[in-house]
Amino acid sequence: MLRGSKIALRARHEADVPVLQAELHDDVAGASRASGRPWRPFTPGSKEAPFVVDDENEKNVPFSVVELDGGALVGSAMLWGVDTHNRSAHVGVGLLPSARGRGYGTDVVAVLCHFGFAVRGLRRLQVDTLADNTAMLRSAERNGFVREGVLRSAAWVMGEFLDEVLLGLLAEDWEPAVKG
């Protein structure tokens, strides 16, 4: 388990999947904003559902986010698109609606940075998010990510094209907030 100041990242448990599915994926508007793929429903127990873990897939490293105080499940986090040759990955965070606005996002990003840089030895982490996702932008920037560009009208979301913002953080610019 990887610990931050408010949350911990742990392996995804089978019991987490239905909660994450119901709270995050079944919110069509929210899930459409979070994913670069078109939303579609999944049958309970489907191996293709978004929160089902495939331990064989080295390119995605999923975690469940739990509160340090009590251990309640509060969301999902992952490094995705892990590129071992270029030593880079993308950061993904999804918090349950009841957990938003508590500073968990900033802590999750800090712990993912620790995992990516200190544990995995990556050189670069990247955040790709919609331009109006102020919570993710704030969480990334508080952890040292720098805005590197805007992809204009790059994301099709619920009937309109939206801009995406790319942020990056290099290992040498990272200032660890998480110890061990």
Angular region, 68: left φ>0, alpha ψ -120 to 50, beta rest: alpha
Strand order in the sheet with 146-157: 2-3, 7-10, 61-67, 73-83, 88-95, 124-130, 160-170, 146-157
- Cβ partners under 8 Å of residue 30, min gap 6: 24
pLDDT tens for 133-162 read: 999 999 999 999 999 999 999 999 999 999
pLDDT tens for 21-45 read: 999 998 999 999 998 888 999 888 8
Residue 89, strand partner residues: 125
Domains in the chain, ordered, with CATH?
A: 2-125 (3.40.630.30)
Taken in order 34, 166, 117, 107, the sign of the CA dihedral is negative
The share of the chain scoring above pLDDT 90, in percent, equals 84
Q: Three-state SS string across 45-106, please?
A: CCCCCCCCCCCCCCCCEEEEEEECCCCCEEEEEEEEEEECCCCEEEEEEEECHHHCCCCHHH
CB-CB contact of 90 with 80 (8 Å): yes
